[in-house]
C-alpha cells in the first residue's frame, strides 16, 4: 500500500476530537490513512460506519434512510459523550452532518464539508436528478445482487483515483449503497449548519462534478469558509497527509475561520 506520508505537527495544547463520516458506498475503513496519523498526533478520532455499509453491510435494508444515517452519528456523539466535536462529512455525508447539526448542535464545535453534497431541507438526492437518470439508477439498484435494492458501487477511477494500489484498496471494500437513502430527504428545522462555523473543503485535482453545485453554493455564503485541497475526491485515500494537515488547520479553535 503506497501513501505519501509526512510528519503531522501540531501544538501540544490543541488536541481535537474528530468524527469523520464517510460517503456513499464507503465505510469507516476509508479514513484509516488519516485517522492513524491524527491519533498519533494526540487527537481523538472516530470513524463510524453508517448502517448497511462496510462492515455493517449485513444490515442493508429498504428501511435505511438518510435519517438512519443521521441517527447513527447522533448516537455516536451521545453514547461516547463527545463534545466540542469537529464533524467532517465527505461527499454524500455532507447531508448527514447537516442533519446532525440540526439535531444536536450543542455537541459540535465546527462542521467541515469535505467535497460534500449540500441540499435544501425536504430535497432528496433523487430530486436533483433528471427522471431518466433516476430510472436508470433504480433499475441498477434492483440488479445489485443484494437482498434489498441498493445502488451498485462505482469504479474507483470515477472518484479520481489513479494509483493502482489506491484503486485496489478501495475497489475491494466498496459496498452497495441503500437505495432509500437517495430517495429520502432531511427535514431541517434550522438553516444549513445551524449557526455553527462551517467550512467547505473543495477538492480540485480533478474537480468532482457531482458536488460542484454544492461547492459553489458554499462559496457564495458570506458566513461560510471555503477553501481548496489539491487532490481528488477520494483524497483521504490518495493524499492522507494533505487531508490531515487541512483538518488540523480547519478544525483548530485558534484558526481565524468564520
pLDDT at 256: 58
Q: List the catalytic residue out of 32, 91, 124, 220.
A: 91
Instruction: Grade residue 8 by pLDDT with cuts at 50, 70 and 90.
Output: very low
Domains of the chain and CATH, by start: 17-251 (3.40.50.1820)
Question: 141-152 b/e with 16+ CB inside 10 Å = b?
Answer: beebebebbbbb
Cα 197 to Cα 32: distance, rounded to the nearest angstrom: 26
196-208 confidence digits (pLDDT tens):
999 999 999 999 9
Answer yes or no: 163 catalytic.
Answer: no
Say whether the peptide bond before residue 206 is cis (omega within 30 degrees of 0): yes
Which CA distances in Å does 79 have to 42, 201, 210, 227? 22, 28, 34, 32
pLDDT at 12: 42
DSSP-based three-state secondary structure for 143: coil
158-185 confidence digits (pLDDT tens):
999 999 999 999 999 999 999 999 999 9
- Give which of 86, 117, 108, 95 is closest to 188, Cα–Cα: 95
- 38 pLDDT more than 70: yes
H or E element at residue 136? helix 131-141
- 136 pLDDT more than 80: yes
User: Given the DSSP bridges, would you call strands 150-151 and 177-178 parallel, antiparallel or unpaired?
Assistant: antiparallel
Lowest mean pLDDT across 49-58, 105-114, 192-201, 247-256: 247-256
pTM for this structure? Answer: 0.93
Amino acid at each position: 500500500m503506497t501513501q505519501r506520508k509526512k510528519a503531522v505537527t501540531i501544538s501540544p495544547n490543541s488536541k481535537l476530537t474528530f468524527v469523520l463520516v464517510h460517503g456513499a458506498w464507503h465505510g469507516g475503513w476509508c479514513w484509516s490513512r488519516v485517522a492513524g496519523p491524527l491519533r498519533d498526533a494526540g487527537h481523538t478520532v472516530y470513524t463510524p460506519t453508517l448502517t448497511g455499509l462496510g462492515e455493517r453491510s449485513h444490515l442493508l435494508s429498504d428501511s435505511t434512510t438518510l435519517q438512519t444515517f443521521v441517527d447513527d452519528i447522533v448516537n455516536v456523539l451521545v453514547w461516547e459523550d463527545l463534545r466540542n466535536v469537529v464533524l467532517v462529512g465527505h461527499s454524500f455525508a455532507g447531508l448527514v452532518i447537516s442533519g446532525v447539526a440540526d439535531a444536536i448542535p450543542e455537541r459540535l464545535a465546527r462542521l467541515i464539508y469535505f467535497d460534500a453534497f449540500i441540499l435544501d431541507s425536504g430535497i432528496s438526492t433523487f430530486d436533483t436528478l433528471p427522471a431518466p437518470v433516476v430510472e436508470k439508477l433504480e433499475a441498477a439498484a434492483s440488479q445489485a445482487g443484494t437482498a434489498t435494492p441498493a445502488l451498485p458501487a462505482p469504479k474507483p477511477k470515477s472518484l479520481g483515483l489513479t494509483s493502482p494500489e489506491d484503486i485496489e484498496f478501495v475497489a475491494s471494500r466498496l459496498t452497495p449503497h441503500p437505495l432509500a437513502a437517495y430517495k429520502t430527504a432531511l427535514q431541517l428545522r434550522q438553516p444549513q449548519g445551524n449557526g455553527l462555523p462551517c467550512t467547505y473543503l473543495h477538492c480540485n485535482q480533478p474537480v468532482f462534478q457531482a458536488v460542484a453545485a454544492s461547492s459553489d453554493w458554499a462559496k457564495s455564503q458570506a458566513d461560510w469558509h471555503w477553501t481548496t485541497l489539491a487532490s481528488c475526491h477520494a483524497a483521504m485515500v490518495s493524499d492522507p497527509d494533505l487531508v490531515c494537515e487541512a483538518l488540523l488547520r480547519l478544525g483548530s479553535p485558534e484558526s481565524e475561520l468564520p
